[in-house]
Amino acid sequence: MNPVDYFSIPSVSSRSFKVWQRNKDVFIKNIKLNFLPPFIEPILYLLALGFGLGKFVESIDGVPYARFIAPALIAVSVMYASFFECSYSSYVRMYYQKTFDAMIATPLTIEDVIAGELLWGATRSMINATVMIPVIALFGLIDLKYAVLIIPFAFMGGLLFAAIGMCFTAITPNIMSINYPVLLFITPMFLFSGTFFPLSALPVPIQYFATAFLPLTHIVNVIRTLSYGMLSSSLIFDVAWILFVGIALLVLSINLMKRRLII
């Protein structure tokens, strides 16, 4: 494939919704198990880090520590939900269950199938955010003024991480190798994106690096600002970054998967 072809616009149809629907149906079958993590995890983190560790931490920019990390927990969950859905889970469906093979024998095309997977990944991010917001609100750690905006934003951020996960699915030689991007990309991002301490604590070059290349920094920024009940013009930059990179990676991921699956 010509390098330019990796960014040619794929022809996706509304049929990708059927793929989304298929994944939703499986999700509903195990709904209790699926709802547990976004419900339990924030409680554990808030108790251990927010209220435990938080006792020893001065307030950050005038905000108590628990209130500082609460929105980061949502952002991290947005990242994990769609990344893992479109990496390990999609890989299992593609390679082990051959679900994609069965689908492309119907009027669905490969583009539809991958688009449906990406949309579903983003939906999982949105579901997690939707469950976590009330849990965090119960602890009184979120201002509800703009909190509802976090939900559609979680979908948008979810699409970005879904695309990242799908790119790795398209190029990984086997399922074990997905551990590399997790170890070298996702985990560092979890720690160094202004999640548990502000970016400003890092050396300046690393701050620039994080802003330029770590998607999670932008997700954390937006969700944190909204959860403080504020809007700020800096959000435009974050959203623009997410949109630009997100769209590029969505297109790339579909083309990479096409290359992988058409033989």
Partner 1 sequence: MFGFLGPNGAGKTTTMRMIQCISPVTGGSLEVLDMDVSTCQREIKSHMGVVPQENNLDEDFTVYENLLVYSRYFDIPKDEAEKRVEELLDFVQLLEKKDVMTESLSGGMKRRLVLARALINRPDVLILDEPTVGLDPQARHLIWEKLRNLKKQGVTIVLTSHYLDEVEKLCDRLVVMDNGKILVEGSPMGVIEEFIGSDIIEAENNPELLECLQQKEAKYEIIGDTVHIYADNAREISEFLLMECSLSKISARPATLEDVFLKLTGRRLRE
What residues make contact with partner 1 under the rule CB under 8 A? 15, 18, 21-22, 25-26, 29, 97-99, 101-109, 262-263
> Phi first, then psi: what are they for 122, rounded to 5°?
-65, -35
In this complex, which beta carbon is closest to partner 1, that of residue 92 or of residue 236?
92
CA angle 218, 238, 121 (to 5 degrees): 60
Helix axes 150-171, 215-227, angle to 10 degrees: 170
In this complex, which beta carbon is closest to partner 1, that of residue 107 or of residue 229?
107
In this complex, which beta carbon is closest to partner 1, that of residue 26 or of residue 36?
26
3-class SS at 152?
helix
Enumerate the β-bridge partners of residue 60.
Answer: 63
Residue type at position 228: Y
Q: How far is the CB of 22 from partner 1 (least distance, A)?
A: 6
In this complex, which beta carbon is closest to partner 1, that of residue 105 or of residue 204?
105
3-class SS at 209?
helix
Q: How far is the CB of 97 from partner 1 (least distance, A)?
A: 5
Q: How far is the CB of 262 from partner 1 (least distance, A)?
A: 6
Structure tokens at 237: 């930059």
Q: How far is the CB of 28 from partner 1 (least distance, A)?
A: 11
